[in-house]
Each structure stands twice: as C-alpha cells, then as structure tokens.
Amino acid sequence: MKKGKHIIIFLAGSLFVTLLPARDLSAQENIGRLFMTPEERRTLDLLRNQEDRTTITVPSLAIEDDPDEVVDEQITGITVDGIVYRKNGKSTAWVNDGNTYEGDLSTQYLDINPAHISPGGVKIKVMNNDKSRLIRMETGQTYDPVKDEVVDPVKYK
C-alpha cells in the first residue's frame, strides 16, 4: 500500500509541474546588460569606440656587449618550491621560480629529469665546480652549494 501512495504522489507532482503555466519571456522587460544603466552603457560604448589618442615615443638605447667578458655566476642555492606528481601524466617540480612543466629549469648549474619526480621528492642533478652530483630533495628544502648540504625548512611548533 505504501508503494501505491508514493506512485500517486509522484504522478500528482509530475502533473502539477507539467500544467504550470509557462512564463512568457518575451513579455518581460529586456534587462540589457547587468549592472549598467543605459547612460553608463552609452558612455562605455563611446569610450570603447574612440580611437587611441595617446602616442608614446620610446627612445632607443644602444647597449654594447663585450664579447670577451665572461660572467662566472655562482649558485646561491637551489630550493624546491613544490611538486605535483601524476601517475598517468606529466609530473611537475617547481625549483627556484621555474618549473619542469614549461621546461625552463635546465641551466648550466642544475638539471631535472621529469622521470626523477616522485611523490616524496625530486632528484636534481647539480653541477658545481666542474663536478656533477644527483641530490634528492623534498618540497621546502634548499641545497646550499657552499656547505654542500641540503637544509630542511624551519619547522614551527
């Protein structure tokens, strides 16, 4: 008997919804653009359709490069800022304001193979003083090339 009651209530509800008078949308007032009065809309259209009147002239600068000058930069540190590991996709590691997804991490001082990214960390090939070394680091850790050690982040209590 309960099942029959539920069916009757369901059919009555369906009939009610079906027989609701449809709203005539064409009779409603045209709302136009949201949050704009007609005057604001005209002003915006006028400003948008105007030609640019500002001309900026930038002076050209001659920069002379000295081809004999050799810049010997030293690594100040390598910090792993974040890791996204995907089993079925391309994993990404963020190191020193660059990431492996965009491919901007291979430099003369470090190289990261995307296959070396795991949920627990990333292996970074570090080149320092004509020596290369593979270092495993976790998110937040920094490699100090002067001390040749990985420094853990400060942990707050």
pLDDT-derived band of residue 156, with 50, 70 and 90 as boundaries?
Answer: very low
Give backbone dihedrals phi and psi of 5, rounded to 5 degrees, phi first.
-65, -45
Its domain, for residue 114, covers 78-148
- Residue 38 belongs to a domain: no
pTM of the model: 0.48
* Residue 147 scores a pLDDT above 70: yes
DSSP string over 55-66: ------------
- Residue 141 belongs to a domain: yes
Task: Output the CA–CA distances (angstroms, integers) from residue 14 to 2, 7, 17, 21, 49, in the order listed.
Answer: 18, 10, 5, 14, 51
- Cα 140 from chain centre: 19
- Residue 12 belongs to a domain: no
The Cα–Cα gap between 31 and 44 comes to 17
- Residue 123 belongs to a domain: yes
- Residue 39 belongs to a domain: no
Number of structural domains (the chain) is 1
Q: Dump pLDDT digits (tens) for 100-134.
A: 776 656 666 788 888 888 888 988 888 877 778 88
* Residue 22 scores a pLDDT above 70: no
